[in-house]
Amino acid sequence: MIAKPAQSLTLFLLLAPALLWLGLLIVLPHVEILILSFSERVAPRVYAFGFGNYLEFFTEPLYWRTFARTAFMSILVTALTLVLAFPIALYIARVAQGRLKAMLLLLCLLPFWVSELVRTLGWMILLRETGVISYALRAVGLASQPVELLYNDGAVILGLVYGGLLFMIVPLANALESLEPAVVEAGYDLGGSRWTVLRRIVIPHAMPGIVAGCIIVFMLTVGNFATPVLLGGKNGLWFTEQIYAQFITRFNWPQGAAFGMLLLLLSSAIVWLGLRLTGQSLGTTLKQA
Amino acid sequence: MAASSHTATDLDIVNVTKRFGSHAAVDDVTFSVAPGEFFSILGPSGCGKTTLMRMIAGFEHPTSGDIRIRSKSMIGVPANRRPVNMVFQSLALFPMMSVGENVAYGLTCRGASRAEAEERAGRMLERVGLKGFGERRVTALSGGQRQRVAIARCLVLEPTLVLLDEPLGALDLKLREHMKIELKQLQGTFNTTFAYITHDQSEALVMSDRIAVMNQGRFEQVGSPRELYHSPATPFVASFVGETNRWQGQAASASNGAVAVRLSSGAVVQGQGSGAAQALAFVRPEAVALAQDQSSLANLPNRFEGRVSAVLFDGAASSLLIDTAGFAEPVRAVLPQAGPLAGIEVGAPIHVGWTADAMKVFAA
């Protein structure tokens, strides 16, 4: 079909902002970073094409260990978020009605009205040695001296799960809401226990929502910077810190670019693997999210 | 069958009441269903029949009264432990499972091995005429096939009682007519007790051994389709079951069950029933005799002269509306398909008449 010139111009104008956004802010920088990641410094201010930056990643244990740790912790955070969010989403989608439902969703959204940095600082106020929880533990006599709850993996996981919860609840609640109540009742009527109904009817129905939520939370977690740095301190060891260090502290842009590319590859590979393992297609998943 | 002793019933509902706040959705209902019986609960929407069915299935709990299945009280027994299975209005097939998995689901819930469940599901599908459909998605089935899967899913568990909640509602007319017969045949071959709820009197009349007519939470009458049709116990049953002419008036004289009613529109009719001051008179369209001259109706106590106001042609269910002096609404009669009146047109003069037996009179 051949569109009239006026029509195609309108279409072009409507699409232009999106195309510019995509091209200038996403595709172009990534191409730039890709090129940059393949340039090695052979002498001061002299760069040549090579795989040195990537080799550096594999030869220096700190780098790939941090990388593996980030991947593993992110998967753990995603799994924990899913387990925590599922009952909440189930309650919002299937039990709560009318105003209560809107209230609960708003309650989930409310923390996001302040910036991530402020929320993370809030956790620091709670968890640090001189913080609220430490004080409370001493006050009730459960601890004899100040307790440091910050700067460990637990604190990092706590902060990341907290940050991801909303992004898991919304697609889950969406998916669960479309489950016909009679189908659940039929599950019980034919002799299913709560567990059978959950495992064979509710979870398979919610699968697109589960996968959508997991992808979003995993992406946000892998790419998070402030939470691991602030709550984990020196023990945070998040891969984004390595990228930051290369770009900002060591001023080694090509190395940072290589790390950035590796992180992109990592998250893409894990998402692809997740989709394959659950048998979901990206299309149906995106519809849920 | 209905007169069998108490030990031989599959379902006993004893003084069951269900209140939502101050509103009684089901109000002191008592009935029994015999083994192998096709029992229907017929009523308009909102009459409480769905609530009653959900209480039998275990999804709602009665405020008072007892529900017994094979003499065992079901109070406090959860839905998944009752020997009752339900065919839902929307069928509620599991879309995430194949046809075979849908049928095998209940068996695996009971702890049957996967192989055994699959084998029995396959045999059940064969019995309902869906051999080889086991691997299909339920979304790939036609309306009638989905219906059969929903029933097979229940029957494979060999329940004491199958509950059916208006399962034919979503089907188109032709398929619905076909499924009525098929359901009745299925019930016959499996010899399972069916409790069927519907607002469609034709479904209830065609399939049931016995029907309970329900209105505003109470049973108006329980009886065979013929009993309900020919000797309704209440004015609600008379007007809800089947087509009927209905007029209001005052009972003028009553003796020995015979009542003369003076309609508010003037005419005096002779009927059978109770002679209260305010009376409702009912006569079935097929009980109204038609003639071109008065002499052939001479032996009927109710004889009137009218004029055809409309011919409602609907094949075997065709009817005539006849404007008759003394009646506020036209008299409805069955259109004769043969004989001198077969070709009658609007405006033609006609004589109508009916016996006193055919006219049921109730206190309004």
Instruction: Tell me, yes or no, whether B225 and B268 share the same domain.
Output: no
What's the alpha-carbon Rg for chain B, to the nearest Å?
24
* pLDDT at res. B5: 46
**Is the same domain home to B340 and B217?**
no
| Best residue of B51, B69, B89, B96 to probe chain A, by most A CBs closer than 10 Å | B96
In a domain, B1, yes or no: no
Residue B59 lies in a domain: yes
Q: What is the CA radius of gyration of chain A?
A: 23
Q: How far apart are CA B220 and CA B226, in angstroms?
A: 15
Same domain, B247 and B231: no
Query: Is the domain covering A51-288 a CATH 1.10.3720.10 domain?
Result: yes
Q: How do residues B292-349 score in pLDDT, each as one tens digit?
A: 888 888 888 898 999 999 999 888 888 999 999 888 889 999 988 888 888 888 989 9
Res B164 pLDDT > 90? yes
A237 vs A222, residue with greater confidence: A222
Cα–Cα distances (Å) from A276 to A211, A215, A217, A264, A270, in that order, read 11, 13, 18, 18, 10
Yes or no, beta carbons of B95 and A205 under 8 Å apart:
yes
In this complex, how many residue pairs, one in chain A and one in chain B, have their CB atoms less than 8 Å apart? 66
Chain B, nearest residue to A181 by Cα:
B92
Domain limit, last residue, from B205, B237, B269: B237
Cβ of A190 within 8 Å of Cβ of B85? The answer is: yes
Question: Which residues of A fall within a CB distance of 8 Å from B78?
Answer: 188
3-state secondary structure of A47: strand
Asked whether residue B145 is domain-assigned, the answer is yes
User: pLDDT at position B314, please?
Assistant: 87
Q: What percent of chain B has pLDDT over 90?
A: 56
Residue-wise pLDDT for B175-204, tens only, equals 888 888 888 988 988 889 999 999 988 889
Q: A179 vs chain B: nearest CA distance in angstroms?
A: 10
Contact A190 B157 (CB under 8 A): yes
Contacts B105 to A, Cβ<8 Å = 187, 190, 192, 200
My answer on whether B24 and B162 are in the same domain is yes
Do B89 and B184 reside in the same domain of the chain?
A: yes
| Separation in Å, CA of B143 to nearest CA in chain A | 17
Q: Given CA atoms A240, A242, A245, A248 in this order, what sign does their dihedral have?
A: negative
Chain segment B146-157, per-residue pLDDT in tens: 989 999 999 999
Query: Which pLDDT score is estimated for A2?
Result: 56
State the total domains in chain B: 2
**Do residue B93 and residue B209 come from a single domain?**
yes
| B362 and B233 Cβ atoms separated by less than 8 Å | no
> Is residue A85 within 8 Å of A168, Cβ to Cβ?
yes
DSSP string computed for B32-64: EE-TT-EEEEE--TTSSHHHHHHHHHTSS--SE
Is B110 in CB contact (< 8 Å) with chain A? yes
Question: For chain B, what is the mean pLDDT?
Answer: 89
Q: Tokens standing for B315?
A: 């094949």
Q: Which residue has the higher pLDDT, B90 or A52?
A: B90
Percent above pLDDT 90 for chain A: 30
Whole-model pTM? 0.80
Residues B91, B217 within the same domain: yes
Confidence of residue B2 (pLDDT cuts 50, 70, 90): very low
- Shortest Cα distance, chain B CAs vs residue A206, angstroms: 10
Mean pLDDT of B232-250: 90
pLDDT tens-digit series, residues B105-115? 999 999 989 99
Does A288 score more than 80 pLDDT?
no
Which of B59, B89, B109 is facing A190, going by the closest CB pair?
A: B109
- pLDDT exceeds 60 at position B1: no
Residue carrying structure tokens 């509710």: A202
Boundaries of domain holding B278? 243-363
Kindly state whether residues B215 and B255 are assigned to the same domain: no
Q: What is the percentage of chain A residues whose pLDDT exceeds 70?
A: 97
A204–chain B nearest CA distance, Å: 7
* Dihedral pair phi/psi, residue A5, rounded to 5°: -55, -45
pLDDT at B6: 47
> In chain A, what are the domain boundaries?
51-288
Distance of alpha carbon B61 from the chain centroid:
25
